[in-house]
């Protein structure tokens, strides 16, 4: 079993089309993390995305990096906005991950205009990321975000700095939202022009957790749970060339996502997806 690999932008790395979302390990013990890594190896997943703010996730990944660092493209994130705090957090992440470098350092959740201006201005987090790259602690620099304005903010970020990757929500329901879909396509077009990697999240999101719902998963949103529904949602995203899908932040959902990606598939028709949407009660991604 091996999931397709695609060029990760201009980094020179062939990454698995499914990127492991390290948020799934935020509250996991090491034994659980070890089982997850064995599963990733079984499916040929060679790209890990984590963040300093994901609980104990970096600590759970660290022991594997000691033994298998060369087998994975390793990405983490800093949510700090000023130079000194970001510099300290980058180095803390390296310690927790037990490595002397990460392949990708991302400015995390950069969507608020005031935070955006601070992080990308002199004395901001971007300065710390660039310095870390010059020192060999970081190889590439990216930007991530959630919410209705993230695609537009990423476009703005790419105008300010030549980022190597972006990460933002994308699923069929998002593609039907006139404003967000237009912003997404505009940003993807710029990324293609510059050979910037495009990572997507929330492929299997149904919507925000409903009031009173049994929160039986560690995702920030209420996910799809039926395996056929997960397969349709995952394959709709991955049928688009060059796009990467970050797996959901839940250990129990991971096998279904990997099985969906480890198969032959074509883009489902709009008719199929409209029926899928109605059957699964998908809500808007916005506000997640």
C-alpha distance from residue 48 to each of 61, 100, 114, 247 (Å): 9, 16, 29, 10
pLDDT tier at 288 (50, 70, 90 boundaries)? Answer: very low
Q: Which residues share a beta bridge with 19?
A: 246
Please list, in sequence order, all residues whose beta carbon lies within 8 angstroms of the beta carbon of residue 259, skipping any fewer than 6 positions away. 227, 231
Q: Which ranges of 2-80 would DSSP assign to H, the alpha helix? A: 30-43, 57-68
Dist. CA 169–CA 150, nearest whole Å: 8
Query: What tokens does 88 get?
Result: 């300290």
Residue-wise pLDDT for 72-86, tens only, equals 999 999 999 999 999
Cβ contacts of 275 within 8 Å, gap of 6 or more:
none
> What is the band of 274 on the pLDDT scale with cuts at 50, 70, 90?
confident
Query: Measured between alpha carbons, how far is 167 from 110 in angstroms, rounded to an integer?
Result: 10
Give the confidence band of 286 by pLDDT, cuts at 50, 70, 90. Answer: low
Per-residue confidence at 283, pLDDT binned at 50, 70, 90?
confident
> pLDDT for 25-68, tens place per residue?
999 999 999 999 999 999 999 999 999 999 999 999 999 999 99
Q: Which two tokens stand for residue 223?
A: 């996910």
pLDDT in tens, 75-125: 999 999 999 999 999 999 999 999 999 999 999 999 999 999 999 999 999
Global pTM reads: 0.97
- Walk me through the domains of the chain, giving residue ranges and CATH numbers: 5-280 (3.20.20.100)
End-to-end CA distance of the chain: 33
Instruction: Report CA 116 to chain centroid distance, whole Å.
Output: 19
Minimal CA–CA distance to 226: which of 266, 179, 282, 288? Answer: 282
Element (H, E) at 169: strand 165-169
With residues binned 3-state (H G I as helix, E B as strand, rest as coil), the percentages for the chain, rounded to 5, are: 45, 20, 35
Exposure string for 169-198, b = 16+ CB within 10 A, e = fewer: bbbbbbbeeeebeebbeebbeebeeeebbb
């Amino acid at each position: 079993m091996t999931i397709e690999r695609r060029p990760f932008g201009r980094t020179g790395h062939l990454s698995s089309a499914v990127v492991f979302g390290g948020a799934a390990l935020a509250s996991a013990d090491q034994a659980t993390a070890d089982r997850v890594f064995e599963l990733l190896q079984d499916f040929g997943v060679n790209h890990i995305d984590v963040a300093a703010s994901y609980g104990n996730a970096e600590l759970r990944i660290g022991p594997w990096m000691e033994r298998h660092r060369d087998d994975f493209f390793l990405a983490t994130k800093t949510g700090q906005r000023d130079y000194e705090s970001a510099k300290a957090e980058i180095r803390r992440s390296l310690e927790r991950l037990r490595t002397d470098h990460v392949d990708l350092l991302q400015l995390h959740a950069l969507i608020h205009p005031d935070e955006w201006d601070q992080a990308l201005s002199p004395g901001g987090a971007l300065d710390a990321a660039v310095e870390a790259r010059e020192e060999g602690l970081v190889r590439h620099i990216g930007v991530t975000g959630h919410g209705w304005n993230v695609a537009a903010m990423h476009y703005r970020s790419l105008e300010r700095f030549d980022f190597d990757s972006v990460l933002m929500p994308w699923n069929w329901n998002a593609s039907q939202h006139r404003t967000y879909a237009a912003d997404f396509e505009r940003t993807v077009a710029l990324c293609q022009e510059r050979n910037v990697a495009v990572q997507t999240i929330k492929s299997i999101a149904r919507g925000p957790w409903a009031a009173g719902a049994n929160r039986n998963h560690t995702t920030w949103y209420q996910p799809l749970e039926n395996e056929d529904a997960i397969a349709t949602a995952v394959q709709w995203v991955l049928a688009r060339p060059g796009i990467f899908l970050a797996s959901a932040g839940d250990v129990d959902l991971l096998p279904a996502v990997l099985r969906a990606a480890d198969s032959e598939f074509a883009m489902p028709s709009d008719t199929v997806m409209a029926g899928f949407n109605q059957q699964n009660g998908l809500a808007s991604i916005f506000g997640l």
